[in-house]
Amino acid sequence: MNIFVTGGAGYIGSATAEALINAGHAVTVYDSLVTGHREAVPAGAKFVHASLDDSHALAEALTSIKYDAVMHFAAFIEAGESMKDPGRFFRNNFTNSLALMETAVKTGVKRFVFSSTAAVYQSSEEPLTEESPLGPTNVYGHTKLMTEQALEWYRSIYGLHFAALRYFNACGALPGRGEAHQPESHLIPRVLQIALGQAESATIFGTDYPTPDGTCIRDYIHLGDLVSAHILALGALEKRDKMIYNVGSGNGFSVKEVIETARRVTGHAIPAVEMPRRDGDSARLVASPEKIKAELGWQPKHTNMPDILSSAWEWHKSHPHGYEK
């Protein structure tokens, strides 16, 4: 298939693009490089350096050849930042997604795989199923939910087949591929930067949540397992017109547990500073991934925190400045 990958210079998008190429697909990566890295774009992919809000560039790219599918990763992802500058997130994550859907439909694209998030849900003591109550606690999650809702309308009106994959906390690394956000906001790379001497201490936002140790609990899903979910969803869209799946390990780890595991894996002390809660953080978000397992045969291969952290640690040691030489 010919596949158009937005955000294909980013963490998950570039790894998925590489897997698609290895599976024999032709891939075009479309990325503004605002947060992505040109060096992350896999060899063998055509690269278009442009933003989704550039309507001319987008139309030109999507009409250059006949595309079978769009895989849409491009987004701002910092939940905390979305509460400080909501307009920026609505424009980039929703308005640009809408423009992409519109252009995809006009150019005859039939399949659309969307990078959604567990942030569409309300916090829950129980593992979250796809039927759990929706209720984003931050603007980031709301922009993703709005995009899912728009995709449903484009499915019913135009026949656009779509899969929305609700990621939990993406983490870990594959050979030559890992997290390199600037600035880095994710917990695991942040604590590993401390072990490398690139930062002084980890920040724990809130120690009074209704959890066993008072810190937020999250489900951490390895990069390789996310990639395999995308490949399976893309294939299933040939016969199915709508799929919404949680993509998580089903295991929850608190912020303190992650930091303590990082201390053991790296052999470094990793000091931590406790701060008040941050706006927009849910107490607990843990997946029930049973639906995607049953319907697509997906199985996560990396479900324990020491393994996940070890893969990330290897990446950060060998790439201390990310994709920069």
**What pLDDT, on the 0 to 100 scale, is given for residue 279?**
84
Token pair for 41: 């774009």
Q: Is the pLDDT of residue 255 over 80?
A: yes
Give this prediction's pTM: 0.95
Nearest residue to 179 (alpha-carbon basis) of 119, 232, 226: 226
% pLDDT > 70, the chain: 99
Residue 125 confidence (pLDDT) above 90: no
Average pLDDT of the residues in 104-123: 96
Q: How far apart are CA 107 and CA 59, in angstroms?
A: 8
67 is annotated as an active-site residue:
no
Q: Where are the domains of the chain?
A: 2-171+221-247
Of 140, 154, 220, 245, which is the active-site residue? 140
Q: Tell me the pLDDT tens digit for each residue of 86-105.
A: 999 999 999 999 999 999 99
Question: Average of pLDDT values for 42-48?
Answer: 97
What does the pLDDT look like over 277-306, one tens digit per residue? 988 888 998 999 999 999 999 999 998 999
Where does the pLDDT of residue 181 fall: very low under 50, low under 70, confident under 90, or very high at 90 and above? Answer: confident
Domain 2-171+221-247: top CATH class: alpha beta
Average per-residue pLDDT for the chain: 95
Name the strand (E) or helix (H) holding 287. none
Q: With bands split at pLDDT 50, 70 and 90, how would you rate the model's confidence at 321?
A: confident
| pLDDT at residue 182 greater than cutoff 80 | no
Tell me if residue 237 falls in helix, strand or coil. Answer: coil
Q: What is the mean pLDDT of residues 242-265?
A: 97
Reported as a pLDDT band with limits 50, 70 and 90, residue 84 is very high
Q: How many CB atoms lie within 10 A of CB 190?
A: 22
Q: How confident is the model at residue 325 (pLDDT cuts 50, 70, 90)?
A: low
β-pair type (161-167, 111-117)? parallel
The per-residue pLDDT for range 137-155, each reduced to its tens digit, is 999 999 999 999 999 999 9
Which pairs from 298-304 meet CB under 8 Å and 24+ separation?
298/225, 298/228, 298/229, 298/232, 298/247, 300/221, 300/222, 300/225, 300/249, 300/250, 301/222, 301/224, 301/225, 302/172, 302/222, 302/224, 302/225, 302/249, 303/249, 303/250, 303/251, 304/251
Q: Residue 324: what pLDDT?
A: 80
C-alpha distances out from residue 295 to 233, 237, 282, 289, Å: 10, 12, 28, 10
